[in-house]
């Protein structure tokens, strides 16, 4: 059961022998050749093998050291948790405790919290040890524990094998091979599984991975972005491939439209994590950006389906990758087999074969997958029409004017949207114009017939957003019930 891991190690070793002086990883002030990378990972893997057993956590921002230790854990076959930098202290504590993390490598900002949790600093700088957490049951063969944001404040730990992780990375490399990107810039934190596997895919291809801190990229928290700085980093790194979420794609498209950078630099831009507005994809295509929408989830080791060079169908999330099978249940739910989690922490192992994703969708005659929203989020209007709020919210927020939108219409004759604009000083008339433009692209039953301005942006602080910026719908409904109420028609 170590086929993919052995293949990955052999491939990195081959790169180290065939192109020893080629740059494998480029950071802000450090770079490693493929030979140096392989040697450094082996040394670190050996050291990890000499440490007390238990999961290993990395609380580092993106950079060469994070990748070296992540690969070392993979080589040492030690369960690894990468803490996303946008997690709160409470969420970090939950991850460490639930995973039974005995060894942590962290930046200094976490010191006081680690002391509170019983960790003791070690002689090796940045390392902390806590023997009291040993013995937590983790699914056999777990290589990585990745945390989903979920719908509550406590993220869920998903246990994944190296075979699943590296199998997906190999298919991602194959999907982008026709574009032959030689430089990949990691924009998302490596604590986001999709980016983590994107970096593995770039290494499989023998490309150069650029790893800059979120601050250097102009990103803070889960939602704040300085697009001028981000675009500058893309240009300076000469990146040819990126992995983005829709809001980051919006910033990139706008930058190209305004002449801040050339679309020709980018050969492969994957976008996922949330529904992408068709109008945004049309804008990307109009300026010549090679954008490929995909779909995946942590429980299936990230990517399940992806549009790719030579196989694109706008409006779909692409065809399922060769390593998985997808079918649609009678109620429209997307089911996936072939690459699934070992189980959640603190729950029974998953024995499969089919994982119920919670997403609604359909397949066309050519095998392209289309998503129709979340099964639990779909609402039914008083006219009996089913509406996926993500669909409408994507149209609103990807206009470049509205920062946040929440749409509700359960049992109502018309839908209402709660809105927070990019510029809080924007007038109601200006917002109304944007909403009208978005409505023109939607069927009547799905339109935002009414809208209300939020009194404050949705946030982690008031528990209206998950850790990765998605709306916590029940909390929003409870908090803003008075705004959502509309006159009966």
Report the DSSP beta bridge partners of residue 305.
295, 320
Which residues face 308 on adjacent strands? 311
Q: Are the C-beta atoms of 350 and 342 separated by less than 8 Å?
A: yes
Report all structural domains of the chain as residue ranges with CATH numbers, in order of start. Answer: 1-376 (3.40.50.12780), 379-484 (3.30.300.30)
- Residue 12 parent element (H or E): helix 3-18
For residue 152, is pLDDT > 70? no
**What is the number of H-type helices and E-type strands within the chain?**
15, 28
Query: pTM of the full predicted structure?
Result: 0.84
Task: Sort residue 427 into left (φ over 0), alpha (ψ -120 to 50) or beta.
Answer: beta
Residue 169 pLDDT exceeds 90:
yes
User: CA–CA distance from 306 to each of 41, 315, 424 (Å)?
Assistant: 31, 12, 36
Report, as an integer, the average pLDDT of 207-231. 90
CA dihedral 220, 225, 227, 230 (to 10 degrees): 30
Contacts of 74 (CB under 8 A, 6+ apart): 5, 8, 80, 143, 144, 162
**Do residues 360 and 210 touch, judged by C-beta distance below 8 A?**
no
67/222: higher pLDDT: 67
Tokens of residue 309, six digits: 């060079």
Average pLDDT, the chain: 91
Could you tell me the pLDDT band of residue 153, with boundaries at 50, 70 and 90? very low
Output 212 or 92, whichever has higher pLDDT. Answer: 212
Q: Which of 15, 124, 132, 133 is nearest to 71 (CA)?
A: 15
Could you give the CA distance from residue 142 to residue 320 in angstroms, rounded to a whole number?
Answer: 24
Best CA proximity match to 472, nearest among 482, 486, 462, 481:
462
């Amino acid at each position: 059961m170590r086929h993919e891991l052995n293949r990955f190690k052999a491939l990195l070793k081959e790169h180290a022998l065939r192109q020893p002086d080629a740059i494998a990883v480029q950071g802000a002030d450090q770079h490693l050749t493929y030979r140096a990378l392989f040697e450094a990972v082996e040394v670190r893997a050996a050291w990890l093998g000499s440490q007390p057993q238990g999961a290993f956590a990395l609380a580092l921002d993106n950079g060469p050291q994070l990748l070296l230790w992540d690969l070392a854990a993979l080589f040492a076959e030690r369960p690894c948790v990468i803490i996303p930098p946008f997690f709160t202290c409470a969420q970090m504590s939950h991850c460490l405790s639930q995973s039974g993390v005995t060894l942590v490598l962290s930046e200094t900002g976490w010191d006081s919290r680690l002391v509170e949790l019983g960790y003791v600093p070690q002689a090796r700088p940045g390392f902390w040890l806590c023997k009291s957490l040993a013995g937590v049951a983790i699914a056999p063969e777990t290589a990585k524990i990745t945390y989903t944001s979920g719908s509550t404040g406590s993220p869920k730990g998903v246990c994944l094998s190296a075979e699943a992780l590296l199998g997906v990375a190999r298919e991602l490399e194959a999907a982008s091979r026709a574009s032959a990107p030689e430089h990949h810039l990691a924009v998302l934190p490596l604590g986001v599984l999709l980016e983590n596997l994107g970096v593995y895919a770039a290494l499989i291809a023998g490309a150069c991975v650029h790893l800059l801190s979120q601050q250097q990229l102009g990103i803070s928290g889960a939602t704040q972005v300085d697009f001028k700085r981000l675009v500058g980093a893309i240009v300076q790194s000469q990146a040819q491939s990126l992995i983005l979420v829709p809001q980051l794609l919006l910033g990139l498209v706008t930058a190209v439209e305004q002449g801040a950078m050339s679309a020709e630099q980018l050969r492969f831009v994957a976008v996922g994590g949330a529904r992408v507005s068709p109008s945004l994809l049309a804008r990307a295509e109009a300026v010549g950006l090679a954008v490929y929408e995909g779909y995946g989830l942590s429980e299936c080791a990230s990517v399940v389906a992806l549009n790719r060079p030579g196989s694109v169908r706008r409006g779909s999330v692409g065809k399922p990758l060769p390593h998985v099978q997808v079918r649609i249940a009678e109620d429209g739910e997307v089911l996936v087999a072939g690459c699934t989690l070992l189980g959640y922490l603190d729950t029974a192992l998953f024995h499969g074969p089919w994982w119920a994703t919670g997403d609604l969708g359909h397949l066309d005659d050519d095998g392209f997958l289309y998503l129709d929203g979340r099964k639990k989020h779909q609402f039914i209007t008083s006219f009996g029409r089913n509406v996926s709020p993500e669909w409408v919210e994507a149209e609103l927020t990807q206009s470049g004017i509205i920062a946040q939108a929440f749409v509700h219409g359960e049992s109502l004759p018309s839908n209402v949207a709660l809105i927070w604009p990019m510029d809080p000083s924007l007038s109601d008339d200006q917002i109304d114009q944007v909403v009208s433009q978005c409505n023109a692209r939607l069927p009547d039953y799905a339109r935002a017939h009414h809208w209300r301005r939020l009194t404050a942006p949705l946030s982690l602080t008031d528990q209206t957003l998950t850790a990765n910026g998605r709306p916590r719908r029940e909390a929003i409904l409870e908090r803003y019930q008075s705004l959502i109420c509309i006159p009966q028609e």
